[in-house]
Structure 1
Amino acid sequence: MGCFTSSKPQNFEIGNKTFLLDGKPFLIKAAEMHYTRIPAEYWEHRIRMCKSLGMNTICLYVFWNIHEQRPGEFDFEGQNDIAAFCRLAQKHGMYIMLRPGPYVCAEWEMGGLPWWLLKKKDIRLRTNNAYFLERTKLFMNEIGKQLADMQVSRGGNIIMVQVENEYGGYAVDKEYITNIRDLVKEAGFTDVPLFQCDWSSTFQLNGLNDLLWTINFGTGANIDAQFKALREARPETPLMCSEFWSGWFDHWGRKHETRDAETMVSGIRDMLDRNISFSLYMTHGGTTFGHWGGANCPPYSAMCSSYDYDAPISEAGWATPKYYKLRELLMQYADSGQVIPDVPQANPLIEISAIRFEETAPLFKNLPKAQKTETVKPMEDFEQGWGTILYRTTLPEVKEGTVLLIDEVHDWAQVYIDGQLLGYLDRRRGESSLMLPQLEAGTQLDILVEAMGRVNFDYAIHDRKGITEKVELLTENSRKELKGWQVYSFPTDAAFASRKDFQKGDRTEGPAYYRASFELEETGDVFLDMKTWGKGMVWVNGKAIGRFWKIGPQQTLYMPGCWLKKGKNEIVVLDLLGPDSAVIVGLKQPILDMLRLEEPLTHRNEGEVLNLNGEVPVTVGEMGVPNGWQEVKFNRPVSGRYFCLEALDAQDGKDNASIAELYLLGSDGRTLSRQNWQVVYADSESTDWGNFTADKVYDLQESTYWSTAYGVAYPHSLVIDLKEECTISGFRYLPRAEENAPGAIKTYKIYIKDKPFIK
């Protein structure tokens, strides 16, 4: 179709096995990118990059929480001007697939939902909870005011609008989806098709008859298998992969993620040959600036600031080798009359010589006004959305051997006794307690907690920050809740960071703000090298650039040249750990794959071998030929806390074993919660060429998986601590999604015990 967007009204509709634009077949080739992750000054450049790739549409999430950071205060100006972004896309002949949520996931803080919803203790997000629907309606109406008149029927470029997002991975509630659909319509989105996206295993759970159904899956997936159930359910529907994952996102403390370019291109070719529309998630990932990064759970794992995603267009907007491979393909499948322009030049790059910090403001000497509370409360109760929070009280007399228990730390804490650091607590590891020395009554206890990003997936999005429950002293014979707290809030806005009593000096003990200025003769994009720093955030010229953490894998922060100035520039750093050297240089290349491991990524100590001699299996069986989810029921329910799967051989006869997702079934046949699961043993895990550790079996992501290292022979064993005794009646198992399901298990044994397995 050669007719691209103009101000002339057009008609976009669903035809027989195809989309129709003004009555003619139209294949959607969409590039996903997010206005929030790109400086507004660079929006047009990135749109042109997508057009030059051969795309005809941009797929776009709307992030509720960046537009309504306080209840009733909506912001659609400047960086948040989503209508301006859509108009730029139209200027360059690109259509828009709009995804307004209210929930979007996107590895974004709380999946795009506003933090202040959590101030209501009884809130149930993404349900028919009256308050949630009330606030969703207000938000959706504001989006309608901004964008409803940009539907193609009204001379704009919006061709489709999504209802909710991957809801089958959250719940089964068609009434809720119906309510969200109605709110989208009431906001004015009545002229174009509305659609739902989900996985091939979940799309029918909440599917509404009047909505288009689309499927999400990643590179390497078996295309025909992914659409098999949809073809059977709706033989006449146009097919679309609404998220074809080009790469993956990075977590702090885990290896940098990449995905093979040839595999991605092959999958897109397969879809084009089958007349299947697609949206490439991500075509350009960009940067999660400031505090907006989300987290996965279980297990809790926060996202890096870089959202490079190994996408065809890099974080800084460069055309990568993956870009050119895909462009070569899409030029062969260009629409009739479509002109694919030359690739735009990348923005200029600069280097910055060493910026030396000579002013410091220790955090504990720059406390804001205290708020008082008898019992510990989460951050939200103090009207704080993001950042760091300090809880302070005095202790009674403490005897040696007393345990300080913090329930729960969200997400990373430092504990001080009379100003001296006692230790760290890291939610990623499930840490919640420290042993106290003998202390006199009146000793000051400080607990400094950094919020690392609210969970953006599953029920764990109800993720309050700070200390969420209580703090107790535990002895062998007693437990005492600590009360009488003073609380100090340290938000993430640049004005707060700069309003400190800075003193001369390049180093100070403990958490502190650091400030410096630097002169530039020319501006350009640059990567701030944070390798010598500990853990914290950076602001430049009043812009929140992002988080850093020495554990990696990300060691640089992308600094857009459009936010720099000729002449004097100011930089402020909050470092909660303290730097080895208070110096930053600016590089022309990012460092995204430098991991400094604090502990092994794998779940097996050196020399450790699981001994199952003498153990009696609950069941012995053989999986069917791999074809999506498989369910196994035991002859009788069994109770225990520790679950062991022993895989004896593979369907393909090779050494490798892999599992994408694993659920246990309770006595009622329903899946048990996996929120607190912990892998305590895996005989083999591949980490050389990706993140294929055993905890991937319960990370809620069907496209990630546990894989044993190649060349390690069967049998393969996996032991999970369920953290509580459960009655188990069976399990559900999902092999890898790729064709022939590599590593699919054939013969297996299952063991369940109330005590740990002997190693």
Structure 2
Amino acid sequence: MRFKKLLTSVLVACALLTASCTSQKQEPHQFEVGNKTFLLDGKPFIIKAAEMHYTRIPAEYWEHRIQMCKALGMNTICIYAFWNIHEQRPGEFNFKGQNDIAEFCRLAQKNGMYIMLRPGPYVCSEWEMGGLPWWLLKKKDIQLRTNDAYFLERTKIYMNEIGKQLADLQAPRGGNIIMVQVENEYGGYAVDKEYIANIRDIVREAGFTDVPLFQCDWSSTFQLNGLDDLLWTINFGTGANIDAQFKALKEARPETPLMCSEFWSGWFDHWGRKHETRDAETMVAGMRDMLDRNISFSLYMAHGGTTFGHWGGANCPPYSAMCSSYDYDAPISEAGWATPKYHKLREMLMQYADSGQVIPDVPQPYPLIEIPAIQFEETARLFDNLPEVKESEDIKPMEEFDQGWGTILYRTKLPDVKEGTVLLIDEVHDWAQVYADGKLLGRLDRRRGENSLTLPALKAGTQLDILVEAMGRVNFDYAIHDRKGITEKVELRTDDNRTTLKGWQVYSFPTDAVFAARKEFHKGGKTDGPAYYRASFELKETGDVFLDMQTWGKGMVWVNGKAIGRFWEIGPQQTLYMPGCWLKKGKNEIVVLDLLGPDKAEVKGLTQPILDMLRTEEPLTHRKEGESLNLKGEKPVATGKMAAGNGWQEVKFARPVKGSYFCLEALDAQDGKETASIAELYLLDENGKTLSRQNWQIDYADSESTSWGNYTADKVYDLQESTYWSTTRGAGYPHALVINLKGEYAISGFRYLPRAEENAPGAIKSYKVYVKEEPFVK
């Protein structure tokens, strides 16, 4: 009898296991590219995709967020696959738990949602290094996103692993993946169809052969690398002129289905800049216009979530690191709440439901809790807890010490230093504190281009410490080759001498929770200088909460072994989202690394986030108080009028002009109003090719709007066509912009892009251009 019961139990367990496994695959579906429409099982199908990222959502909350998207009226989830989170060390792949991308896709299928997969290898996404693994940079001559043999070799290894996880989840095989992307916005990086063809072949060889492959780009760049056998899609943001965005694509491929593969619902936040928002009515109107034209879309982001730990990326030029919150002003908030934007969009999408589509009720949010102030009474000073030392004669970046992220300390002895000697650190990536015999001399911030300090007199043998924090590798353009720490050299400079410092001791402070907790903690609260702080707190109930970091300086937080994110007193983010699923009833542990030092060593748990509180030390605008530009007596190298409307325009000079400073003076606007705006600006060399903008610096802008958005003048070269420089309301024409090119060039003209919205608000009409070898503003 006992044997029969045991046998019966085993058979039941096997049956349940079999049912569980088979339930993850359903009937196969055919998804195809038809004539001006997508076809699902032979019938016209409009993709209504909600983009969100499994890495930015606790795995315990994946299904809730998927259900939120379904209740919004979407039929598809769009996801990136992040190479660098799956292969953090060469050959060591992790697809478990939080990294189980296949389980995410199966949960989407369980809830009746299809998947658009974007496996890279590069993804951008305001993610560390655009999703590429840091260890690629250990190869000194690596050329990322090219036909570099090593890069393609590692890409193939990675893509094959993605294929093992996901290829069998393609819709024709009973899964829910209906499209797979090849690379990502490559036209904003280079022109190399051979490279794109190589990535296409790698994707196919990984097993993605049963569904359409597509490539996305901007309307201005999609043909640069477009392959004949791939579907082409266009990316643009809220408020864009939709007919203008698709005009060139419709001319190039009259029969293709149209899709906006990234319709930007909001925007991402940078440290030290105002929180970004986008108008809900404008977003909804744009999506309605696309649906009325049978245009498919993916809403980037439907739910942004959180860039936990150190995974936030950065833009460059100019260098600007991303906040931990990736709220994105999306319809679903960082904590998974339905926002007013959500309800407006849901109301519209319910009017465009697919045949047979049932849009469920909106799921309830997870419960919230408050946490009384946690007092930190254990401290471990960073300089008293140095890890194992590494010796190096020459300065080297972090990667050459086999360190991927975190903070790195460079230490050496100084020769005799005269007062006024300049310490040059070339380059600081990204934020440094400089000490002499333990005394802080100053701080250097890459955002502001700072790389030198003037030293006091220091005797020979003084210990020089340079503590550098890596804030996030650049995730866009060639600057993704972003090595951290100190990348080139450290010099002492006087009027008549340069001395390169040698003989370094190097200490690595990574970002993992075990390293952070394994310190010699001592009783005591706030202390001076960089330090780790530890505390425990008791909870009777768990729930989502926002950790209030307003009294802290700059650093990272870990709770119960989970890396929660970065904080920085300058804002705009002042809280960290703490998912309740990572808290425990009873005792919890929190560790904080503060590189600046707190005003008060305590953390409270709030029920609302603080995402828009700036404490910037000095404005990021480019006109000093009382400063003005006098162009009287200056001879323009070009005058003229721009054409009205959207899209790129090019102006050629009568002959090339040499200079290091470029000034564009706008005399009036196309719409006759007072505001001037520029989305992007390139200068042309003597051969008509665009000059690199990597080292550009804005020397002067007569007006920049920062009260209602981030419309500073550096937006004209930030590589983002949807961001722009805008002058303030009430500041009338003329408007002037001066760019320091950081070198002398022969300039033959410029390319100008007005705003993407219909009628191009703020578009310049009449202009004058000046080029000089000396500064315009002194």
Q: TM-score range by the shorter chain?
A: over 0.9
Q: Is the 8 A contact 2:670 2:763 kept in 1?
A: yes
Equivalent in the alignment of 1:166 = 185
SS in 1 for 2:615: coil
Question: What SS does the aligned partner of 1:641 have?
Answer: strand
Query: Are 2:483 and 1:464 equivalent residues in the alignment?
Result: yes
Say whether 1:270 aligns with 2:289: yes
Question: Which of 706, 729, 750 is equivalent to 1:687?
Answer: 706
The answer on 1:345 being equivalent to 2:364 is: yes
CA distance in 2, matches of 1:245, 1:533: 32
2:579 paired residue number: 560
Q: Whole-Å Cα distance in 2 between the matches of residues 257 and 244 of structure 1?
A: 16
Equivalent positions of 1:287-326 (< 5 A) are 287-326=306-345
Aligned equivalent of 2:53: 34
Residue 180 (structure 1) aligned with residue 199 (structure 2): yes
Q: Is the 8 A contact 1:402 1:437 kept in 2?
A: yes
User: 1:5 touches 1:94 (CA, 8 Å); kept in 2?
Assistant: no
**How far 1:585 moved relative to its partner?**
0.3
Letter in 2 for 1:457: F
Q: Give me the CA root mean square deviation.
A: 0.9
CA distance in 2, matches of 1:601, 1:500: 38
Partner of 1:50, secondary structure, is helix
Q: d(CA) in 1 for partners of 2:59 and 2:447?
A: 34
1:621 match:
640
- Give the counterpart of 1:642 among 658, 661, 664: 661
Choose from 133, 142, 147 the match for 2:161.
Answer: 142
Counterpart residue identity of residue 220, structure 1: G
> Within the alignment, does 1:661 sit opposite 2:652 as a pair?
no
Tell me what 1:70 maps to. 89
Amino acid aligned to 2:493: L
**After superposition, what is the alpha-carbon deviation per residue over 1:397-419, rounded to whole angstroms, capped at 9, x for unaligned?**
11111110001000000000000
Could you tell me which residue of structure 2 aligns to residue 521 of structure 1? Answer: 540
The yes-or-no answer on 1:402 pairing with 2:414 is: no
CA contact (8 A) 1:612 1:758 kept: no
Residues 424-452 of structure 1 show CA distances to partners (whole Å, capped at 9, x for unaligned) of: 00000000000111111110000000000
Query: 2:594 aligned with 1:575, yes or no?
Result: yes
**Counterpart Cα distance in 2 of 1:589 and 1:557:** 10
Number of the residue aligned with 2:272: 253
Give the CA deviation at 1:507: 1.5
Shift of 1:704: 0.3
Q: Which residue, out of 424, 430, 435, partners 2:443?
A: 424
Query: What is the CA–CA distance in structure 2 between the aligned matches of 1:707 and 1:398, rounded to whole Å?
Result: 46
- Any conservation in 1 of the 2:699–2:777 contact (CA below 8 Å)? no
Separation of aligned partners in 1, 2:269 and 2:180? 28
1:630 aligns with: 649
1:595 maps to amino acid: L
Q: How does 1:420-499 map to 2 (within 5 A)?
A: 420-499=439-518
Describe the SS at the equivalent of 2:109.
helix
Tell me the equivalent position of 1:743.
762
Distance 1:125 1:411 in 2: 21
Which residue in the other structure is 2:148 paired with? 129
Task: State, as a whole percentage, how many aligned pairs show the same letter.
Answer: 84
In structure 2, distance between residues paired with 1:148 and 1:348: 37
Q: What residue is the counterpart of 1:610 in the other structure?
A: 629
**Aligned partners of 2:407, 2:746: CA distance in 1, in Å?**
40
Secondary structure, aligned partner of 1:179: helix
Asked if structure 2 preserves the Cα contact closer than 8 Å seen for 1:681 and 1:720, the reply is yes
TM-score by length of 1: 0.99
Structure 1 residue 5: deviation in Å?
10
Q: For the Cα contact (< 8 Å) 1:515–1:573, is it kept in 2? A: yes
One-letter amino acid matched to 1:649: D
Counterpart among 243, 247, 253 of residue 224 in structure 1:
243
For residues 618-650 of structure 1, give each alpha carbon's deviation from its aligned partner in whole angstroms, at most 9, with x where no partner exists: 111111122300000000100111110000001
Contact 1:247-1:310 within 8 A present in 2 as well = yes
Q: CA deviation at 1:758?
A: 4.2
Structure 2 partner of 1:379: 398
Which amino acid is 2:109 matched to?
Q
1:93 aligns with 2:112: yes
Select 1:197's aligned residue among 216, 223, 227.
Answer: 216
CA contact (8 A) 1:5 1:95 kept: no
Residue 258 (structure 2) aligns with:
239
Secondary structure, counterpart of 1:332 in structure 2: helix
Is contact 2:273–2:614 with CA below 8 Å preserved after alignment?
A: yes
User: Which residue of the other structure, out of 327, 330, 333, is the alignment partner of 2:346?
Assistant: 327
Cα deviation digits, residues 488-519 of structure 1 (max 9, x gap): 00000000000000000002111000000000
Q: Please give the secondary structure, in 1, of the residue aligned with 2:228.
A: coil
Matched AA of 1:717: A
How far residue 602 of structure 1 moved from its aligned partner, in angstroms, is 1.4
Preserved contact between residue 646 and residue 755 of structure 2 (Cα < 8 Å): no
Matching residue's letter, 2:104: F
8 Å contact from structure 2 (residues 350, 359) kept in 1: yes
2:224 & 2:776 partners in 1: Cα distance? 38
Distance (Å, rounded) in 1 between the aligned partners of 2:734 and 2:612: 32
Number of paired residues?
Answer: 756
Equivalent-residue separation in structure 1 for 2:96 and 2:207 (angstroms): 21
Match of 2:17 in 1: none
**SS of 2:733 mapped into structure 1:** coil
**Partner AA of 1:324 in structure 2:** H
> Take 2:152 and 2:459, find their aligned partners in 1: how far apart are those partners?
51
Runs of 4+ in 1 over 4 A off after TM superposition: none
The one-letter amino acid paired with 1:417 is A
Query: How far did residue 6 of structure 1 move?
Result: 6.2
Q: Deviations over 1:82-110 (max 9, x none)?
A: 00000000000000000000000000000
* 2: CA distance, partners of 1:445 / 1:192: 58
2:19 matched residue in structure 1: none
Output the amino acid matched with 2:115.
Answer: I
Distance 1:594 1:749 in 2: 39
1:85 partner SS: helix
- SS of 1:674's partner is coil
Alpha-carbon separation, structure 2, partners of 1:320 and 1:203: 33
Q: For residue 606 of structure 1, report the CA deviation from its aligned partner.
A: 1.7
SS at match of 1:181: helix
| 1:9 counterpart = 2:28 | yes
The answer (yes or no) to whether the contact 2:432–2:445 under 8 Å persists in 1 is yes
Q: Which moved more, 1:622-631 or 1:532-541?
A: 622-631
- 2:70 pairs with 39, 51, 58, which one? 51
Distance 2:444 2:351 in 1: 54
Indicate the residue corresponding to 2:302 in structure 1.
Answer: 283
Q: 1:636 to 1:515 in 2, by over 3 A?
A: same
**Offset at residue 349 of structure 1 (A):** 0.1
